[in-house]
Amino acid sequence: MKKDYAKTTHMDAWLRHPVLGDPSFDSFERLGDTVHKSQPPYEWAVNGSLFCDFDGSWYYYAGLYGYGYRGSLRSRFKIYRSADKGMSWEDLGWGFEEGFVFDGHETPADGCPDVVLYWDETYKKYLLTYDCSTNDFTWETAHSPEGHKIDSGAAIAWADSPAGPFTRVPEMFLSNRTHHGVLGRFSRFYASCVVPRKNDYAAFCLCDSNQHFAWGLAVLTAPTPEGPWSAPHLVLSCDRPEYYPCPVEFFPVEVQGDKVLAHATSVAKNRNYQAIFTADLESAHDPAAWTLTDDGNVWHSRDHEDEYFGIWGQTIHGFVEQETGRYIVMFPSKDENDHGTLNLAWRPFDTPHTDGFTLTGHEGFSVSPLLAAYDNFELNAEFTTKGCVDIAFDYRGILGPDDSCADSSPAMTALTNYTAVRICENEGCIVSVSPQGYADPMAEAQTAEYITRLRIKKYAGKVNIHINDVLLCENQEVKSGAPAPLALIVMPRSRIDCTRFEITGTPEPYIHLWNAVDALLGAGQLMPDEDEVETTDAIAPDRWHRIPGGYIGEGNINAKWNLRGSAFSVQLQKGPGFGKAGIWVDGMLYGSIDLDGDGLAEYRIENLTFGRRAIHVRPLNGRIGIRGCVAFGPAVS
């Protein structure tokens, strides 16, 4: 059997994950020159939105921050206009004059970085939603503003032109001081959009949970933009019972026809994963209306000086050009100096994917195994690379993040236990990576001006490898065992653009091993800040505590793996006096297991229909422990 995993017909056979990375088949291409390159004191232009006016003019709203989002500098937005479809841009200056004071506040709110514009047919005006913070705002009080005069949130302004001038509505429609605590650990609202609907208005607001490192999308509704506005409620977050990629955040939402799209961007270190959640606009206030329509496979970064960090900041936003069918988007990134850049890209709206994929590593590694295993096979691959890339052919690493937080990377265990052809710039060699992560060369390296072709033939525990049709090794003995996935491991500041990944052989069911950290990140849990504990004595309730190889806890704690498979083995920690753990699959209680005793316990979940699954563990009573999860699945075409 022959399959080319670089063809769109097999693009769903690659693992995609917000922390591990995304081999994307998207068809986006860069459009024009960089619109905005950051300069001091606003070194981080990392957010923005795009609008097309009735006369065909394009408007780019650039959100500008100081380096590191420093609170001492009031973040603002600048407006750019293009009359030639993005080929050149006119700087129209700042969007607001400074000094505006909201009703009920004592200090001006000059912090206004992130804006989105919509045409309001009812009022025949342009409606601008914008972030705002008073000039006494500090990050120290951002998540606990009660008892302080400071405030932040979202507000509305009106204009007769996308270029302004804008008249700001006297009151915020969403105040963090007023709404503090209404959504539990989701304790700060920001990055909002107000969208006109047939009979009312919907506001879509990003919210974060501080040190829980979970993000959500909240919705408010009102009969008019001036209110009265409903209380915010969550429609998207890791609290949903089904499969939900973490960690991702939303801004800005986008309306296409009668649908609203919430693009979600990874906030892991690599930031090379995007997802799209979709709902009917008129029912988007209902959590049940939302579905995950794109789990990765949305975006890839190009080898360009102004895309050095991947997408950095928020996500893509744009419009469909009616006369051409082009989907035009803005996107933020940063250059090698860590300064923000704002850019444009396009793709055919009705052709989101194309043959050939890209997997990048920016600040961290990326790891993507196939959802299929092979024993004897022949691989013929064609590609270009930059930096260092491993093409592994018996991948048995333990997947998952290294930490339950933003800027997490693949755990070091995900970079172990495989044999690979390693391509570093113009040198290729075969390496064996031990379970401890030590890489040993197995044959003399081969050099070439460019390495663009690879052939691996594995049979009876031996391999023949050709690089650029030149023999690298013959009858080289390699580790033998059960069939295992092929995988791509991309090092930091590296990439592979692959046009052919053709495997001849029999695809077998796959096994992926996952660590416990992935379940904490998937459930938005506080990461333990104490050292590993060797005993099970005296732990604080309502939070996880580290033990060697896993975590224990009791009370209001959760663990949730978001995985693909048809069967799962949950690895649990037992202990003297431990209680019972409940196991949920996609929100339905599947069973329970008593953890009183010693050693490890395994809970098997079998005979499910293959798909994206949420495996959720939490205490039914007493203390429980988690160690990891194994996902089993049939070979995916």
Band of pLDDT at residue 613, cut at 50, 70 and 90: very high
The domain spanning residue 489 has which CATH number?
2.60.120.560
Whole-number Å distance between alpha carbons of 596 and 234: 37
How does pLDDT run across 4-46, given as a tens digit for each residue? 999 999 999 999 999 999 999 999 999 999 999 999 999 999 9
Question: Could you say which of 508, 526, 545 is where a domain stops?
Answer: 508
pLDDT of residue 383: 98
Local structure of 413: helix, strand or coil: helix
Asked if 480 and 530 sit in the same domain, the reply is: no
Q: How many CB atoms lie within 10 A of CB 618?
A: 18
Do 364 and 490 form a contact (C-beta atoms < 8 A)? no
Percent of the chain with pLDDT over 70: 98
Any domain includes 20: no
Is pLDDT of 535 > 60? no
Any domain includes 104: yes
Asked if 284 and 400 sit in the same domain, the reply is: no
Work out the average pLDDT over 349-366.
97
Whole-number Å distance between alpha carbons of 169 and 113: 17
Asked if 543 and 479 sit in the same domain, the reply is: no
Six-digit token string for 266: 């990874």
Asked if 184 and 239 sit in the same domain, the reply is: yes
Do 349 and 342 form a contact (C-beta atoms < 8 A)? no
Asked if 65 and 156 sit in the same domain, the reply is: yes
Asked if 200 and 231 sit in the same domain, the reply is: yes
Do 203 and 229 form a contact (C-beta atoms < 8 A)? yes
Band of pLDDT at residue 480, cut at 50, 70 and 90: confident
The domain spanning residue 197 has which CATH number?
2.115.10.20
Domain residue limits at 226: 28-351
Asked if 132 and 243 sit in the same domain, the reply is: yes
How does pLDDT run across 54-99, given as a tens digit for each residue? 999 999 999 999 999 987 789 999 999 999 999 999 999 999 999 9
Judge residue 250's burial from the number of C-beta atoms within 10 Å of its C-beta, 0-12 exposed, 13-18 middle, 19 or more buried.
buried
Work out the average pLDDT over 265-276.
95
Whole-number Å distance between alpha carbons of 8 and 24: 10
Six-digit token string for 451: 């390495």
How does pLDDT run across 416-471, given as a tens digit for each residue? 999 999 999 889 999 999 999 898 888 788 888 889 999 999 998 899 999 999 99
Do 547 and 625 form a contact (C-beta atoms < 8 A)? yes
Closest CA to 630 of 512, 485, 484, 482: 512
Band of pLDDT at residue 211, cut at 50, 70 and 90: confident
**pLDDT higher for 322 or 51?**
51
Tell me how far CA of residue 555 lies from CA of 222, 524, 581, 592, 621, in angstroms.
38, 15, 11, 16, 8
Any domain includes 19: no
Domain count, the chain: 3
Do 309 and 280 form a contact (C-beta atoms < 8 A)? no
Do 250 and 206 form a contact (C-beta atoms < 8 A)? yes
Any domain includes 237: yes
The alpha carbons of the chain give a radius of gyration, in whole angstroms, of: 25
Residue partners of 622: CB distance under 8 A and separation at least 6: 554, 577, 578, 579, 580, 595
Asked if 575 and 517 sit in the same domain, the reply is: yes
pLDDT of residue 73: 87
Closest CA to 595 of 604, 584, 582, 586: 582
pLDDT of residue 444: 82
Work out the average pLDDT over 253-272.
95
Three-class SS of 236-265 = ECCCCCCCCCCCEEEEEEEEECCEEEEEEE
pLDDT of residue 147: 65
Start-to-end CA distance of the chain, whole Å, equals 11
Question: Could you say which of 469, 493, 508 is where a domain stops?
Answer: 508
How does pLDDT run across 305-346, given as a tens digit for each residue? 999 999 999 999 999 999 999 999 999 999 999 999 999 999
Band of pLDDT at residue 531, cut at 50, 70 and 90: low
How does pLDDT run across 272-282, given as a tens digit for each residue? 999 999 999 99
pLDDT of residue 534: 58
Do 262 and 303 form a contact (C-beta atoms < 8 A)? no
Any domain includes 445: yes
Q: What backbone phi and psi angles, to 5 degrees, belong to 98?
A: -85, 160
Tell me how far CA of residue 315 lies from CA of 43, 135, 509, 545, in angstroms.
18, 26, 35, 34
**pLDDT higher for 476 or 148?**
476
Asked if 338 and 467 sit in the same domain, the reply is: no
Any domain includes 604: yes
Closest CA to 22 of 490, 346, 417, 405: 490
Asked if 467 and 497 sit in the same domain, the reply is: yes
Is pLDDT of 538 > 80? no
Beta partners for residue 392, in sequence order: 420, 487
Asked if 530 and 600 sit in the same domain, the reply is: yes
Closest CA to 245 of 195, 281, 298: 298
pLDDT of residue 62: 98
Band of pLDDT at residue 142, cut at 50, 70 and 90: confident
Question: Could you say which of 351, 373, 403 is where a domain stops?
Answer: 351
pLDDT of residue 192: 96
Beta partners for residue 120, in sequence order: 125
Tell me the longest C-alpha to C-alpha distance in the chain: 78
Is pLDDT of 537 > 70? no
Any domain includes 22: no
Is pLDDT of 284 > 70? yes
Is pLDDT of 556 > 60? yes
pLDDT of residue 181: 87
Is pLDDT of 145 > 80? no
Asked if 149 and 292 sit in the same domain, the reply is: yes
Closest CA to 505 of 320, 322, 373, 598: 373
Any domain includes 151: yes
Is pLDDT of 529 > 80? no
pLDDT of residue 149: 81
Is pLDDT of 536 > 60? no
Is pLDDT of 533 > 70? no
Look at strands 510-515 and 398-399 and give their pairing: parallel
